[in-house]
Copies of this chain bind each other. A is one copy, B any other.
Protein backbone atom coordinates (compact mmCIF):
# COMPACT_ATOMS: atom_id res chain seq x y z
CA UNK A 1 0.00 0.00 0.00
CA UNK A 2 1.44 3.38 -0.99
CA UNK A 3 1.32 6.35 1.34
CA UNK A 4 -1.35 8.00 -0.80
CA UNK A 5 -3.48 4.88 -0.84
CA UNK A 6 -3.13 4.65 2.91
CA UNK A 7 -4.21 8.29 3.33
CA UNK A 8 -7.23 7.60 1.13
CA UNK A 9 -8.06 4.51 3.19
CA UNK A 10 -7.73 6.52 6.38
CA UNK A 11 -10.29 9.02 5.13
CA UNK A 12 -12.72 6.21 4.28
CA UNK A 13 -12.06 4.46 7.58
CA UNK A 14 -12.79 7.66 9.50
CA UNK A 15 -16.04 8.18 7.63
CA UNK A 16 -17.23 4.68 8.47
CA UNK A 17 -16.13 4.85 12.09
CA UNK A 18 -17.81 8.20 12.45
CA UNK A 19 -21.08 6.78 11.08
CA UNK A 20 -20.91 3.77 13.40
CA UNK A 21 -20.20 5.78 16.50
CA UNK A 22 -22.83 8.36 15.54
CA UNK A 23 -25.39 5.54 15.18
CA UNK A 24 -24.43 3.84 18.41
CA UNK A 25 -24.36 7.16 20.26
CA UNK A 26 -27.84 7.98 19.08
CA UNK A 27 -29.12 4.55 20.08
CA UNK A 28 -27.66 4.96 23.55
CA UNK A 29 -29.15 8.45 23.85
CA UNK A 30 -32.55 7.27 22.66
CA UNK A 31 -32.49 4.40 25.15
CA UNK A 32 -31.72 6.81 27.98
CA UNK A 33 -34.39 9.33 26.99
CA UNK A 34 -37.56 8.34 25.17
CA UNK A 35 -37.37 4.73 23.96
CA UNK A 36 -40.22 2.42 25.04
CA UNK A 37 -39.34 0.59 28.24
CA UNK A 38 -39.67 -2.84 26.69
CA UNK A 39 -37.19 -2.16 23.91
CA UNK A 40 -33.92 -2.64 25.80
CA UNK A 41 -33.32 -6.27 24.80
CA UNK A 42 -33.51 -5.58 21.09
CA UNK A 43 -31.44 -2.42 21.45
CA UNK A 44 -28.80 -4.54 23.17
CA UNK A 45 -28.75 -6.92 20.21
CA UNK A 46 -28.29 -4.07 17.78
CA UNK A 47 -25.60 -2.33 19.80
CA UNK A 48 -23.76 -5.62 20.18
CA UNK A 49 -23.88 -6.14 16.44
CA UNK A 50 -22.81 -2.57 15.66
CA UNK A 51 -19.83 -2.83 17.97
CA UNK A 52 -18.92 -6.10 16.25
CA UNK A 53 -18.91 -4.29 12.90
CA UNK A 54 -16.77 -1.54 14.42
CA UNK A 55 -14.40 -4.07 15.98
CA UNK A 56 -14.02 -5.95 12.71
CA UNK A 57 -13.29 -2.75 10.85
CA UNK A 58 -10.69 -1.61 13.40
CA UNK A 59 -8.86 -4.93 13.34
CA UNK A 60 -9.27 -5.89 9.67
CA UNK A 61 -6.09 -6.75 7.72
CA UNK A 62 -6.78 -3.80 5.43
CA UNK A 63 -6.95 -1.36 8.36
CA UNK A 64 -3.81 -2.82 9.87
CA UNK A 65 -1.96 -2.48 6.58
CA UNK A 66 -3.18 1.10 6.26
CA UNK A 67 -2.00 1.90 9.79
CA UNK A 68 1.34 0.23 9.35
CA UNK A 69 1.93 2.06 6.09
CA UNK A 70 1.14 5.37 7.76
CA UNK A 71 3.28 4.57 10.82
CA UNK A 72 6.24 3.76 8.57
CA UNK A 73 5.86 7.20 6.95
CA UNK A 74 5.30 9.02 10.21
CA UNK A 75 7.80 11.79 9.44
CA UNK A 76 6.02 12.71 6.23
CA UNK A 77 2.66 13.28 7.90
CA UNK A 78 1.22 16.60 9.01
CA UNK A 79 0.58 17.07 12.73
CA UNK A 80 -3.13 16.20 12.58
CA UNK A 81 -2.68 13.05 10.50
CA UNK A 82 0.24 12.00 12.65
CA UNK A 83 -1.84 12.32 15.80
CA UNK A 84 -4.72 10.42 14.20
CA UNK A 85 -2.43 7.61 13.25
CA UNK A 86 -0.91 7.23 16.69
CA UNK A 87 -4.34 7.34 18.35
CA UNK A 88 -5.75 4.82 15.93
CA UNK A 89 -2.77 2.58 16.34
CA UNK A 90 -3.14 2.69 20.11
CA UNK A 91 -6.83 1.90 19.79
CA UNK A 92 -6.16 -0.94 17.36
CA UNK A 93 -3.45 -2.27 19.60
CA UNK A 94 -5.93 -2.38 22.48
CA UNK A 95 -8.82 -3.78 20.46
CA UNK A 96 -6.94 -6.63 18.85
CA UNK A 97 -6.05 -7.99 22.27
CA UNK A 98 -9.72 -8.37 23.17
CA UNK A 99 -11.41 -11.47 21.69
CA UNK A 100 -14.22 -10.23 19.46
CA UNK A 101 -16.90 -12.41 21.07
CA UNK A 102 -16.06 -11.06 24.52
CA UNK A 103 -16.05 -7.50 23.27
CA UNK A 104 -19.48 -7.93 21.65
CA UNK A 105 -20.88 -9.72 24.70
CA UNK A 106 -19.56 -6.92 26.91
CA UNK A 107 -21.32 -4.22 24.88
CA UNK A 108 -24.57 -6.20 25.05
CA UNK A 109 -24.08 -6.70 28.79
CA UNK A 110 -23.75 -2.94 29.26
CA UNK A 111 -26.90 -2.17 27.30
CA UNK A 112 -28.87 -4.71 29.27
CA UNK A 113 -27.16 -3.71 32.54
CA UNK A 114 -28.08 -0.09 32.00
CA UNK A 115 -31.76 -0.99 31.58
CA UNK A 116 -31.67 -3.14 34.72
CA UNK A 117 -29.94 -0.36 36.65
CA UNK A 118 -32.71 2.06 35.68
CA UNK A 119 -35.30 -0.35 37.04
CA UNK A 120 -33.27 -1.21 40.14
CA UNK A 121 -32.77 2.46 40.95
CA UNK A 122 -36.45 3.20 40.47
CA UNK A 123 -37.35 0.39 42.86
CA UNK A 124 -34.33 0.94 45.12
CA UNK A 125 -33.69 -2.77 44.65
CA UNK A 126 -29.95 -3.45 44.58
CA UNK A 127 -30.44 -7.24 44.41
CA UNK A 128 -31.91 -6.82 40.93
CA UNK A 129 -28.77 -5.09 39.67
CA UNK A 130 -26.20 -7.03 41.69
CA UNK A 131 -25.54 -9.93 39.27
CA UNK A 132 -25.17 -7.49 36.36
CA UNK A 133 -22.89 -5.25 38.35
CA UNK A 134 -20.68 -8.17 39.29
CA UNK A 135 -20.51 -9.24 35.65
CA UNK A 136 -19.71 -5.71 34.54
CA UNK A 137 -16.84 -5.46 37.03
CA UNK A 138 -15.58 -8.95 36.10
CA UNK A 139 -15.74 -8.24 32.37
CA UNK A 140 -14.12 -4.81 32.70
CA UNK A 141 -11.30 -6.31 34.69
CA UNK A 142 -10.85 -9.07 32.14
CA UNK A 143 -10.79 -6.55 29.30
CA UNK A 144 -8.25 -4.41 31.18
CA UNK A 145 -6.09 -7.53 31.53
CA UNK A 146 -6.35 -8.27 27.83
CA UNK A 147 -5.23 -4.73 27.05
CA UNK A 148 -2.35 -4.61 29.53
CA UNK A 149 -1.61 -8.08 30.93
CA UNK A 150 1.27 -6.80 33.09
CA UNK A 151 -0.43 -3.80 34.62
CA UNK A 152 -2.84 -3.56 37.51
CA UNK A 153 -6.19 -3.68 35.74
CA UNK A 154 -7.61 -0.72 37.68
CA UNK A 155 -4.65 1.40 36.55
CA UNK A 156 -5.50 0.45 32.99
CA UNK A 157 -9.08 1.59 33.56
CA UNK A 158 -7.95 4.93 34.99
CA UNK A 159 -5.64 5.43 32.04
CA UNK A 160 -8.49 4.74 29.59
CA UNK A 161 -10.38 7.75 30.90
CA UNK A 162 -7.39 9.96 31.67
CA UNK A 163 -4.19 9.06 29.92
CA UNK A 164 -1.36 8.88 32.42
CA UNK A 165 -3.55 8.52 35.51
CA UNK A 166 -2.99 5.64 37.93
CA UNK A 167 -3.75 4.73 41.55
CA UNK A 168 -0.46 6.24 42.67
CA UNK A 169 -1.32 9.66 41.24
CA UNK A 170 -4.87 9.38 42.57
CA UNK A 171 -3.62 8.63 46.06
CA UNK A 172 -1.15 11.51 45.90
CA UNK A 173 -4.04 13.81 45.05
CA UNK A 174 -6.77 12.41 47.30
CA UNK A 175 -4.94 11.70 50.56
CA UNK A 176 -3.68 15.27 51.23
CA UNK A 177 -6.88 16.75 49.81
CA UNK A 178 -8.96 14.82 52.31
CA UNK A 179 -6.66 15.87 55.14
CA UNK A 180 -7.01 19.53 54.28
CA UNK A 181 -10.72 19.50 53.49
CA UNK A 182 -11.95 17.71 56.60
CA UNK A 183 -11.10 20.53 59.07
CA UNK A 184 -12.68 23.08 56.73
CA UNK A 185 -15.81 20.92 56.35
CA UNK A 186 -16.01 20.61 60.14
CA UNK A 187 -15.74 24.37 60.61
CA UNK A 188 -18.55 24.86 58.06
CA UNK A 189 -20.65 22.30 59.91
CA UNK A 190 -20.28 24.26 63.12
CA UNK A 191 -21.51 27.34 61.27
CA UNK A 192 -24.29 25.58 59.38
CA UNK A 193 -26.93 27.89 60.81
CA UNK A 194 -25.47 30.85 58.93
CA UNK A 195 -27.01 29.73 55.60
CA UNK A 196 -30.71 28.91 55.46
CA UNK A 197 -31.67 27.23 52.19
CA UNK A 198 -35.29 26.45 53.02
CA UNK A 199 -36.57 29.03 50.46
CA UNK A 200 -35.31 26.74 47.70
CA UNK A 201 -37.35 23.79 48.93
CA UNK A 202 -40.73 25.08 47.90
CA UNK A 203 -42.71 23.82 44.91
CA UNK A 204 -41.25 25.16 41.66
CA UNK A 205 -43.46 24.16 38.70
CA UNK A 206 -41.54 22.05 36.21
CA UNK A 207 -42.96 24.01 33.26
CA UNK A 208 -41.23 27.16 34.54
CA UNK A 209 -38.05 25.23 35.29
CA UNK A 210 -38.04 24.15 31.63
CA UNK A 211 -38.24 27.80 30.56
CA UNK A 212 -35.44 28.56 32.97
CA UNK A 213 -33.23 25.94 31.31
CA UNK A 214 -33.61 27.78 28.02
CA UNK A 215 -32.70 31.04 29.74
CA UNK A 216 -29.57 29.40 31.17
CA UNK A 217 -28.56 27.97 27.79
CA UNK A 218 -28.82 31.46 26.32
CA UNK A 219 -26.53 32.89 29.00
CA UNK A 220 -24.05 30.12 28.30
CA UNK A 221 -24.25 31.12 24.62
CA UNK A 222 -24.86 27.57 23.46
CA UNK A 223 -25.68 27.32 19.75
CA UNK A 224 -29.26 26.10 19.98
CA UNK A 225 -29.37 25.24 16.31
CA UNK A 226 -26.98 22.41 17.17
CA UNK A 227 -27.95 21.59 20.74
CA UNK A 228 -31.11 20.24 22.31
CA UNK A 229 -32.05 19.53 25.90
CA UNK A 230 -33.89 16.38 27.01
CA UNK A 231 -34.91 14.80 30.29
CA UNK A 232 -33.42 11.73 31.93
CA UNK A 233 -33.11 10.15 35.34
CA UNK A 234 -29.40 11.00 35.43
CA UNK A 235 -28.29 14.09 33.47
CA UNK A 236 -25.61 13.64 30.83
CA UNK A 237 -24.20 15.15 27.65
CA UNK A 238 -23.64 13.36 24.40
CA UNK A 239 -22.09 14.71 21.24
CA UNK A 240 -22.52 13.00 17.89
CA UNK A 241 -20.50 15.82 16.35
CA UNK A 242 -20.17 19.55 16.96
CA UNK A 243 -23.35 19.89 14.89
CA UNK A 244 -25.42 17.72 17.17
CA UNK A 245 -24.82 18.00 20.88
CA UNK A 246 -27.44 16.95 23.42
CA UNK A 247 -27.68 17.65 27.08
CA UNK A 248 -30.20 16.25 29.52
CA UNK A 249 -31.43 17.26 32.92
CA UNK A 250 -33.87 16.05 35.55
CA UNK A 251 -36.53 18.31 37.01
CA UNK A 252 -37.58 17.95 40.64
CA UNK A 253 -40.52 20.10 41.54
CA UNK A 254 -39.26 20.62 45.06
CA UNK A 255 -35.57 21.11 44.27
CA UNK A 256 -34.84 24.07 42.05
CA UNK A 257 -31.05 23.94 42.24
CA UNK A 258 -30.89 20.40 40.93
CA UNK A 259 -31.82 21.19 37.34
CA UNK A 260 -30.21 24.65 37.54
CA UNK A 261 -26.75 23.23 38.12
CA UNK A 262 -27.14 20.15 35.99
CA UNK A 263 -28.00 22.37 33.02
CA UNK A 264 -24.98 24.60 33.64
CA UNK A 265 -22.75 21.56 34.22
CA UNK A 266 -23.88 19.72 31.09
CA UNK A 267 -23.83 23.05 29.27
CA UNK A 268 -20.09 23.25 29.99
CA UNK A 269 -19.58 19.84 28.39
CA UNK A 270 -21.72 20.92 25.44
CA UNK A 271 -19.78 24.17 24.90
CA UNK A 272 -16.54 22.21 24.72
CA UNK A 273 -17.97 19.82 22.10
CA UNK A 274 -19.56 22.62 20.07
CA UNK A 275 -16.22 24.41 19.69
CA UNK A 276 -14.02 21.61 18.43
CA UNK A 277 -11.99 22.96 15.48
CA UNK A 278 -13.61 22.45 12.09
CA UNK A 279 -10.42 20.87 10.75
CA UNK A 280 -10.85 17.86 13.04
CA UNK A 281 -14.59 17.97 13.77
CA UNK A 282 -15.74 14.78 12.05
CA UNK A 283 -12.52 12.86 12.65
CA UNK A 284 -11.24 10.60 15.40
CA UNK A 285 -9.87 13.73 17.08
CA UNK A 286 -13.18 15.56 17.06
CA UNK A 287 -14.17 15.20 20.73
CA UNK A 288 -13.06 16.43 24.10
CA UNK A 289 -9.68 14.95 24.93
CA UNK A 290 -10.28 13.32 28.30
CA UNK A 291 -12.66 13.03 31.19
CA UNK A 292 -10.71 15.25 33.55
CA UNK A 293 -10.41 18.03 30.98
CA UNK A 294 -14.08 17.61 30.14
CA UNK A 295 -15.07 17.74 33.79
CA UNK A 296 -12.79 20.71 34.35
CA UNK A 297 -14.95 22.57 31.85
CA UNK A 298 -18.34 21.37 33.12
CA UNK A 299 -17.37 22.05 36.72
CA UNK A 300 -15.85 25.42 35.82
CA UNK A 301 -19.21 26.48 34.37
CA UNK A 302 -21.21 24.85 37.15
CA UNK A 303 -19.21 26.05 40.13
CA UNK A 304 -16.64 28.71 39.35
CA UNK A 305 -19.12 30.61 37.20
CA UNK A 306 -22.53 29.21 38.09
CA UNK A 307 -22.06 29.59 41.84
CA UNK A 308 -20.43 33.01 41.63
CA UNK A 309 -22.02 36.19 42.99
CA UNK A 310 -22.09 37.66 39.48
CA UNK A 311 -23.95 34.70 37.99
CA UNK A 312 -26.43 34.92 40.82
CA UNK A 313 -26.99 38.57 39.94
CA UNK A 314 -27.84 37.56 36.38
CA UNK A 315 -30.26 34.72 37.12
CA UNK A 316 -31.86 35.72 40.40
CA UNK A 317 -34.10 38.51 39.02
CA UNK A 318 -35.45 36.04 36.46
CA UNK A 319 -36.18 33.44 39.13
CA UNK A 320 -37.74 35.99 41.44
CA UNK A 321 -40.06 37.22 38.71
CA UNK A 322 -41.06 33.92 37.09
CA UNK A 323 -41.50 32.01 40.34
CA UNK A 324 -43.16 34.90 42.16
CA UNK A 325 -44.11 35.04 44.96
CA UNK A 326 -41.96 32.13 46.13
CA UNK A 327 -38.66 34.04 46.35
CA UNK A 328 -40.05 37.46 47.24
CA UNK A 329 -38.47 37.50 50.68
CA UNK A 330 -35.02 36.32 49.51
CA UNK A 331 -32.22 38.82 48.77
CA UNK A 332 -29.60 38.38 46.06
CA UNK A 333 -26.91 37.93 48.73
CA UNK A 334 -28.99 35.27 50.46
CA UNK A 335 -29.48 33.51 47.13
CA UNK A 336 -25.71 33.49 46.57
CA UNK A 337 -25.15 31.93 49.97
CA UNK A 338 -27.92 29.40 49.50
CA UNK A 339 -26.49 28.01 46.26
CA UNK A 340 -23.15 27.74 48.02
CA UNK A 341 -24.50 26.11 51.14
CA UNK A 342 -22.25 23.25 52.12
CA UNK A 343 -23.42 20.22 54.04
CA UNK A 344 -22.58 16.53 53.78
CA UNK A 345 -25.29 14.95 51.62
CA UNK A 346 -26.24 11.76 49.89
CA UNK A 347 -26.25 12.57 46.17
CA UNK A 348 -23.00 13.30 44.39
CA UNK A 349 -24.46 15.30 41.52
CA UNK A 350 -26.14 17.62 43.98
CA UNK A 351 -23.22 17.89 46.39
CA UNK A 352 -21.72 21.29 47.06
CA UNK A 353 -18.23 22.10 45.87
CA UNK A 354 -16.63 21.56 49.26
CA UNK A 355 -17.85 18.05 50.01
CA UNK A 356 -17.94 16.92 46.38
CA UNK A 357 -14.57 15.24 46.23
CA UNK A 358 -15.36 13.09 49.25
CA UNK A 359 -18.16 11.50 47.21
CA UNK A 360 -15.55 10.73 44.56
CA UNK A 361 -13.20 9.20 47.09
CA UNK A 362 -15.89 6.74 48.20
CA UNK A 363 -16.37 5.54 44.63
CA UNK A 364 -12.64 5.47 43.91
CA UNK A 365 -11.98 3.32 46.94
CA UNK A 366 -14.81 0.88 46.12
CA UNK A 367 -13.75 0.50 42.49
CA UNK A 368 -10.16 -0.08 43.44
CA UNK A 369 -11.06 -2.72 46.01
CA UNK A 370 -13.50 -4.44 43.60
CA UNK A 371 -10.69 -4.69 41.08
CA UNK A 372 -8.26 -5.94 43.70
CA UNK A 373 -10.71 -8.70 44.63
CA UNK A 374 -11.27 -7.42 48.16
CA UNK A 375 -14.97 -6.86 47.50
CA UNK A 376 -17.73 -8.44 45.44
CA UNK A 377 -20.85 -6.72 44.17
CA UNK A 378 -22.93 -7.91 47.09
CA UNK A 379 -20.57 -6.12 49.51
CA UNK A 380 -21.01 -2.79 47.76
CA UNK A 381 -24.15 -1.42 49.45
CA UNK A 382 -22.71 -2.13 52.92
CA UNK A 383 -19.29 -0.71 52.11
CA UNK A 384 -20.85 2.29 50.38
CA UNK A 385 -22.91 3.09 53.45
CA UNK A 386 -19.95 2.55 55.80
CA UNK A 387 -17.74 4.95 53.83
CA UNK A 388 -20.45 7.61 53.63
CA UNK A 389 -20.61 7.44 57.40
CA UNK A 390 -16.82 7.56 57.73
CA UNK A 391 -16.06 10.28 55.14
CA UNK A 392 -19.18 12.40 55.22
CA UNK A 393 -20.67 11.52 58.59
CA UNK A 394 -24.10 10.62 57.21
CA UNK A 395 -26.36 7.59 57.08
CA UNK A 396 -27.60 6.27 53.76
CA UNK A 397 -31.30 5.42 54.09
CA UNK A 398 -31.65 3.27 50.93
CA UNK A 399 -29.74 2.11 47.87
CA UNK A 400 -31.58 4.43 45.50
CA UNK A 401 -29.87 7.37 47.20
CA UNK A 402 -26.78 5.26 47.87
CA UNK A 403 -24.93 2.78 45.73
CA UNK A 404 -27.52 2.87 42.92
CA UNK A 405 -27.46 6.63 42.41
CA UNK A 406 -24.95 6.88 39.53
CA UNK A 407 -25.20 5.43 36.03
CA UNK A 408 -21.45 5.06 35.56
CA UNK A 409 -20.99 1.46 36.61
CA UNK A 410 -23.98 0.24 34.64
CA UNK A 411 -22.40 1.89 31.61
CA UNK A 412 -19.01 0.30 32.25
CA UNK A 413 -17.44 3.64 33.16
CA UNK A 414 -15.28 2.22 35.92
CA UNK A 415 -12.26 4.44 36.58
CA UNK A 416 -14.14 7.52 35.43
CA UNK A 417 -14.99 9.05 38.82
CA UNK A 418 -11.53 10.31 39.85
CA UNK A 419 -11.51 12.55 36.77
CA UNK A 420 -14.39 14.56 38.26
CA UNK A 421 -12.28 15.54 41.25
CA UNK A 422 -9.19 16.17 39.14
CA UNK A 423 -11.37 18.21 36.78
CA UNK A 424 -12.56 20.32 39.71
CA UNK A 425 -8.97 20.98 40.71
CA UNK A 426 -8.07 21.84 37.10
CA UNK A 427 -11.01 24.30 37.05
CA UNK A 428 -9.60 26.25 39.98
CA UNK A 429 -6.26 26.52 38.23
CA UNK A 430 -7.91 27.61 34.96
CA UNK A 431 -9.59 30.43 36.88
CA UNK A 432 -6.23 31.70 38.14
CA UNK A 433 -4.79 31.80 34.63
CA UNK A 434 -7.93 33.21 33.01
CA UNK A 435 -8.00 36.11 35.47
CA UNK A 436 -4.65 37.27 34.10
CA UNK A 437 -6.26 37.69 30.65
CA UNK A 438 -9.82 38.84 31.23
CA UNK A 439 -12.04 40.36 33.90
CA UNK A 440 -13.97 37.19 34.67
CA UNK A 441 -16.41 38.80 37.10
CA UNK A 442 -17.29 41.50 34.59
CA UNK A 443 -17.85 38.97 31.82
CA UNK A 444 -20.18 36.89 33.96
CA UNK A 445 -22.08 39.98 35.04
CA UNK A 446 -22.67 40.87 31.38
CA UNK A 447 -25.16 38.00 31.18
CA UNK A 448 -23.51 36.32 28.18
CA UNK A 449 -20.47 34.09 28.56
CA UNK A 450 -19.19 34.63 25.01
CA UNK A 451 -15.74 35.98 25.96
CA UNK A 452 -15.13 33.30 28.56
CA UNK A 453 -16.09 30.74 25.94
CA UNK A 454 -13.64 32.32 23.50
CA UNK A 455 -10.85 32.06 26.05
CA UNK A 456 -11.43 28.33 26.42
CA UNK A 457 -12.02 27.82 22.72
CA UNK A 458 -8.60 29.24 21.82
CA UNK A 459 -6.74 27.35 24.54
CA UNK A 460 -8.59 24.04 24.95
CA UNK A 461 -11.71 23.36 22.94
CA UNK A 462 -10.53 23.81 19.36
CA UNK A 463 -7.77 21.24 19.81
CA UNK A 464 -10.08 18.27 20.45
CA UNK A 465 -7.87 15.24 21.01
CA UNK A 466 -4.84 16.70 19.27
CA UNK A 467 -2.73 16.64 22.46
CA UNK A 468 -2.57 14.34 25.46
CA UNK A 469 -4.66 15.80 28.28
CA UNK A 470 -1.70 16.37 30.58
CA UNK A 471 0.20 18.16 27.80
CA UNK A 472 -2.80 20.33 26.96
CA UNK A 473 -3.34 21.29 30.58
CA UNK A 474 0.29 22.26 31.00
CA UNK A 475 0.20 24.31 27.79
CA UNK A 476 -2.38 26.53 29.48
CA UNK A 477 -1.68 26.30 33.22
CA UNK A 478 1.80 24.89 33.68
CA UNK A 479 2.29 22.26 36.35
CA UNK A 480 -0.79 20.75 38.03
CA UNK A 481 -1.06 22.28 41.50
CA UNK A 482 -3.85 20.90 43.73
CA UNK A 483 -3.12 23.69 46.23
CA UNK A 484 -4.83 26.15 43.86
CA UNK A 485 -7.99 24.10 44.34
CA UNK A 486 -7.66 23.99 48.11
CA UNK A 487 -7.02 27.75 48.29
CA UNK A 488 -10.01 28.40 46.07
CA UNK A 489 -12.28 26.35 48.35
CA UNK A 490 -10.84 27.87 51.54
CA UNK A 491 -11.29 31.40 50.27
CA UNK A 492 -14.82 30.84 49.02
CA UNK A 493 -16.17 29.01 52.04
CA UNK A 494 -14.47 31.22 54.61
CA UNK A 495 -16.25 34.10 53.00
CA UNK A 496 -19.67 32.43 52.60
CA UNK A 497 -19.63 31.21 56.20
CA UNK A 498 -17.74 34.20 57.60
CA UNK A 499 -15.18 31.89 59.26
Interface residues of A (CB under 8 A from B): 15-16, 18-19, 22-24, 26-27, 30, 34-39, 41-43, 45-46, 49-50, 53, 223-228, 230, 240-241, 243-246, 282
Q: How far is the CB of A223 from chain B (nearest CB, A)?
A: 8
Q: How far is the CB of A76 from chain B (nearest CB, A)?
A: 28
Across the interface, A244 reaches (CB within 8 A) one of B15, B42, B53, B230, namely B42
Q: B15, A53: Cβ atoms under 8 Å?
A: no
Q: A34-B230, A42-B244, A240-B42 are in contact. Are A19 and B225 (CB under 8 A)?
A: no
Q: Which residues of B contact A16 (CB under 8 A)?
A: 49, 53
Q: A15-B49, A45-B15, A46-B23 are in contact. Are A35 and B225 (CB under 8 A)?
A: no
Q: Which residue of B lies closest to A27 (CB)?
A: B26
Q: A26-B27, A26-B30, A41-B243 are in contact. Are A36 and B282 (CB under 8 A)?
A: no
- Contacts A/B (CB < 8 Å), 22 sampled: A15-B45, A16-B49, A18-B45, A18-B46, A18-B49, A19-B46, A22-B42, A23-B24, A23-B27, A23-B46, A23-B50, A26-B26, A26-B27, A34-B228, A35-B244, A37-B225, A38-B223, A38-B243, A38-B244, A39-B240, A39-B241, A42-B241
Distance A240 CA – B47 CA, assembled complex (angstroms): 13
Q: B30, A243: Cβ atoms under 8 Å?
A: no
Distance A201 CA – B50 CA, assembled complex (angstroms): 49
Q: B282, A45: Cβ atoms under 8 Å?
A: yes
Q: Which residues of B contact A24 (CB under 8 A)?
A: 23
Q: Which residues of B contact A23 (CB under 8 A)?
A: 23-24, 26-27, 46, 50
Across the interface, A36 reaches (CB within 8 A) one of B26, B45, B46, B244, namely B244
Q: Which residues of B contact A22 (CB under 8 A)?
A: 27, 42-43, 46
Q: B49, A224: Cβ atoms under 8 Å?
A: no
Q: Which residues of B contact A19 (CB under 8 A)?
A: 45-46, 49-50, 53
Q: A18-B49, A23-B27 are in contact. Are A42 and B282 (CB under 8 A)?
A: yes
Distance A224 CA – B37 CA, assembled complex (angstroms): 9
The 7 closest A-B pairs by CB, nearest first: A19-B49, A39-B244, A38-B225, A23-B23, A19-B46, A38-B226, A22-B46
Q: Which residues of B contact A246 (CB under 8 A)?
A: 36
Q: Which residues of B contact A230 (CB under 8 A)?
A: 34
Q: How far is the CB of A209 from chain B (nearest CB, A)?
A: 17
Distance A194 CA – B43 CA, assembled complex (angstroms): 52
Q: How far is the CB of A478 from chain B (nearest CB, A)?
A: 37
Distance A130 CA – B204 CA, assembled complex (angstroms): 48
The listed residue with most B CB atoms (<10 A of its CB), out of A15, A23, A243, is: A23
Q: How far is the CB of A41 from chain B (nearest CB, A)?
A: 7
Q: A243, B39: Cβ atoms under 8 Å?
A: yes
Q: Which residue of B lies closest to A242 (CB)?
A: B42
Distance A36 CA – B26 CA, assembled complex (angstroms): 13
The listed residue with most B CB atoms (<10 A of its CB), out of A42, A45, A224, A226, is: A42
Across the interface, A225 reaches (CB within 8 A) one of B34, B36, B45, B240, namely B36
Q: A36, B228: Cβ atoms under 8 Å?
A: yes
Q: How far is the CB of A16 from chain B (nearest CB, A)?
A: 6
Q: How far is the CB of A72 from chain B (nearest CB, A)?
A: 28
Q: Which residues of B contact A224 (CB under 8 A)?
A: 36
Q: Which residue of B lies closest to A51 (CB)?
A: B19
Across the interface, A42 reaches (CB within 8 A) one of B36, B43, B49, B243, namely B243
Q: Which residues of B contact A53 (CB under 8 A)?
A: 16, 19, 53
Distance A15 CA – B22 CA, assembled complex (angstroms): 20
Q: Which residues of B contact A225 (CB under 8 A)?
A: 36-38
Distance A151 CA – B39 CA, assembled complex (angstroms): 42
Q: Which residue of B lies closest to A48 (CB)?
A: B19
Distance A413 CA – B282 CA, assembled complex (angstroms): 30
Distance A93 CA – B371 CA, assembled complex (angstroms): 53
Across the interface, A226 reaches (CB within 8 A) one of B26, B39, B245, B282, namely B39
Distance A206 CA – B37 CA, assembled complex (angstroms): 25
Q: Which residues of B contact A240 (CB under 8 A)?
A: 39, 42
Distance A67 CA – B226 CA, assembled complex (angstroms): 44
The listed residue with most B CB atoms (<10 A of its CB), out of A225, A227, A244, is: A244
Distance A207 CA – B245 CA, assembled complex (angstroms): 28
Q: How far is the CB of A121 from chain B (nearest CB, A)?
A: 18
For the A-B complex with A36-B228, A36-B246 known, give 16 more contacts whose Cβ atoms are closer than 8 Å: A18-B45, A22-B46, A23-B23, A23-B26, A26-B26, A34-B228, A34-B230, A36-B224, A37-B225, A38-B225, A39-B226, A39-B243, A39-B244, A42-B240, A42-B241, A53-B53
Q: Which residues of B contact A30 (CB under 8 A)?
A: 26, 30
Q: Which residue of B lies closest to A47 (CB)?
A: B19
Q: Which residues of B contact A49 (CB under 8 A)?
A: 15-16, 18-19
Q: A36, B227: Cβ atoms under 8 Å?
A: yes
